[in-house]
Amino acid sequence: MSEKMWGGRFAAGTDALVEQFTSSIAVDRRLYAEDIRGSTAHARMLGRVGVLTAAEVEAICTGLETIGAEIAAGNFTFTDSLEDIHMHIESRLITLIGDTGKKLHTGRSRNDQVATDMRLYTRGAIDRLLALLHDLQSVFVDLAEREADTILPGLTHLQVAQPVTFGHHSMAYVEMFRRDAERLRDARKRVNVLPLGAAALAGTTFPIDRWDVARELGFDHVAENSLDAVSDRDFLLETLAALSIIAVHLSRLAEELIYWMSAALAFIELPDAFCTGSSIMPQKKNPDVAELIRGKSGKVMGQLTALLILMKGQALAYNRDNQEDKSIFFTALDEVEASLQLLARMLPGLQTRPARMRAEAEKGFATATDLADYLVRKGVPFRDAHAVVGRAVRLAQNRGIGLEALPLAELRALSSTIGEDVFRVLTLEGSVAARNHLGGTAPEQVRAAIARARTRLQAEVE
C-alpha cells in the first residue's frame, strides 16, 4: 500500500522516477516560514470556531514553532518522497505530536495552502525589493548631488545631441526606479488577498472564519471565488512583469556603465572590487558585474514569458503545472535582488572624468540647438533658424572647429540677426544653464530635483 498522505485509494507505491520528477522540495523549501505561519493561523482559527480544542491548537502551534526552528538551524531532513514543503512540515508535525498533527489539514487543501504561501512570500519579496529600490535611488541622488555641475554629452541615437550634466543624467535613473517602486506597490495590493478557505476548489463544509485568518496574516482582502482563488497566478505574473521592467532599467544602466568605461570614452572608472581582469591580458580591467547584470536581465524577462505560457492553457481550477511557478518566480526574484544590491554597493565608488566628458561634448556641436533658439528669440522662424544653424554646422565641420570658434562676421553672413551676444549661448555651461525650468538641466533645477527626491525618499522611510 502507498504510504503517501494522499495514498488511501492507491494499491501501489509511487515509482521512484515519478517521485523525483514530481518532487518540488528542492525549490519550495524556501517557503517553510510562510507555510508555518499560514498553518499556525489556520489552526488558531479552527480552534476559535470550535473545530479544534484549545489543547489541540496549542500542541499544533508549539509543534510548528519547533519545526520552524529545526529548519532554520539546518537540522531538518528533506526527501523527495514527501514531495513538497507542506508534506514535510505536516509529516514532521505528526511525528512530534502524534495524531493531533493529522487534524491540521482540516478544512483546507494543498491547493489553497500553496497559494497562500506564495502570496505571503511574494508580499515579503515586494517589501524587500522596495527597500532595495529605495537604497539605489538614494545612491543616485547622492551621485547627482556630487556631479550636478559635471558636463556630460547628452546623446540621441548614440550621437552627441545636447549638453547635460552627469547629475541630471543620474536623476533620470531615480525616476526610472521610482516608477518601478510604484508598480510594485500597486501589484502588492492584488498580492495581498487571502485564498485560504477555498480548499481544493469548492470551499469547505467546516464553519471556518476566513477573515479571522486574513487579519492574523495581514491580508487586506479575502478571495471571493474559490475556483479563482486556487488557480490564480495573476499576482505572480504582475510581479514578474514589474521585475522584468526593473531588469530592463538595470540592463540599460549596465550598458551605459560599460559604454562609459570603455577606452574609447573613458568617462568613468568603476571600483576595482566590482571589476575583474583577464587570464591572459594583464592590463585588462573588465566591468564584469555590469555585463552580468545586463546578461541576467534577459533571464528575468524569460521567466515572465515562461509563466505566461505556463498559465495560458489551463482550465479552472488548480493544475499541477502550477508547481513550476515557484522556480520561475524565485529565479527572476533572485537575479533582480542581487543586481540591485550590487549596484547600490558599486555606484558610490564610481569616479567621473569630467575632462573626458567635456572633450566629447565639444566634438558634436552640442550647442547647435541653443543657437537655433537664439535666432528664434530674435524673431527668426524656427525652420529658417534650423536651416541657418545647419549651414553653420557644415561650415564649422569643414574647418574642424566648433561653432563657438566661428568668427562673428561669418555667423552674421549666415543671418544678420546674430550679434556679439551669440557666444554666450554657444558655451556648454551656457547651454546647460539655459534650460532652467522644471525638469531642465540647469544645476539649480537638478539640485531642486535632488531636494524633492530626498524629501520623498525620507517620507517613504517614515
- Residue pair 210/222 in contact (Cβ under 8 Å)? The answer is yes
What count of Cα atoms within 13 Å lies in the side-chain half-sphere of residue 177? 28
101: nearest Cα among 111, 110, 91, 109: 91
3-class state of residue 221 by DSSP? strand
Q: Each residue of 145-180: b (16+ CB within 10 Å) or e?
A: bebbebbbbbbeeeebbbbbbbbbbbbebbebbbeb
State yes or no: is 157 an active-site residue.
yes
- Residue pair 457/141 in contact (Cβ under 8 Å)? The answer is yes
Q: Which helix (H) or strand (E) holds 162?
A: strand 159-165
210: nearest Cα among 189, 225, 196, 229: 196
Most distant CA pair in the chain, distance: 101
State yes or no: is 437 an active-site residue.
no
Catalytic residue among 157, 170, 251, 416: 157
Q: What is the grid cell recorded at 265?
A: 570614452
Could you give the CA distance from residue 419 to residue 428 in angstroms, rounded to a whole number? 19
Dihedral sign of CA atoms 315, 316, 319, 321 in order: positive
Catalytic residue among 2, 262, 278, 416: 278
Helix axes 110-146, 166-191, angle to 10 degrees: 160
> Which DSSP symbol is given to 276?
B
Beta partners for 164?
152
Backbone phi, psi, residue 152, to 5°? -135, 135
3-class state of residue 151 by DSSP? strand
Could you give the CA distance from residue 324 to residue 344 in angstroms, rounded to a whole number? 31
Indicate which residues carry an active-site annotation: 157, 278
